[in-house]
Amino acid sequence: MDLVLALAVCALGGVVAGLIGVGGGVIFVPAMVIFLSMDQIEAEATSLLMIAIVSLFGTWRQRGYGNVDLRDAILIGVLSPIGVVFGVVLANELPERALKVAFGVLVLYVAWRLMKKALRPDRPEPEGSSGQG
């Protein structure tokens, strides 16, 4: 593995994770497959640990700004490992090409949904609504 390239991937993934809340799935996995010559399953497995480490630092910094909803984070954090167990088993049974195609389709779908939402005009609040509960 080219150490300089690996460091660049990690730095870019870290910046993107801190900036927009992604890094593992969107930056780390494709970069490891394309630039570091890992196979898809190895890149996915490696990114799981990378995401955990990046998440700890990102959460620590964002919590200082008051941006972390601990209740939701704990709920999702406790329930997600159930899905991960099934996902890992499935990933090891599927052909690598199917994983790459599925990953690409997922990223494109998420990008399309985010662009659609970002480009939608802001909706005015109904009259008499101050936005406070």
Residues 105-130 have a mean pLDDT of: 81
* In-domain check, residue 38: yes
Around Cβ 50, how many Cβ atoms within 10 Å?
Answer: 21
Is residue 85 in a domain? Answer: yes
Instruction: Please check the confidence at residue 133 and state whether its pLDDT lies above 50.
Output: no
- Flag whether 126 is in a domain: no
Does residue 91 form part of some domain? yes
Alpha-helical segments (H) within the chain: 3-20, 29-34, 40-64, 70-93, 96-119
Q: What is the pLDDT of residue 3?
A: 85
**Token pair in block for residue 32:** 């490891």
Q: Domain range spanning residue 81?
A: 3-69+76-119
Count: domains in the chain: 1
Rounded average pLDDT over 28-49: 89
What pTM was computed for the model?
Answer: 0.68
pLDDT of the residue at 10: 80
Q: What is the pLDDT of residue 21?
A: 73
How does pLDDT run across 55-80, given as a tens digit for each residue?
Answer: 888 889 989 999 999 999 899 889 98
For the cut 60, the answer to whether the pLDDT of residue 130 exceeds it is no
Helices and strands in the chain, H and E counts: 5, 0
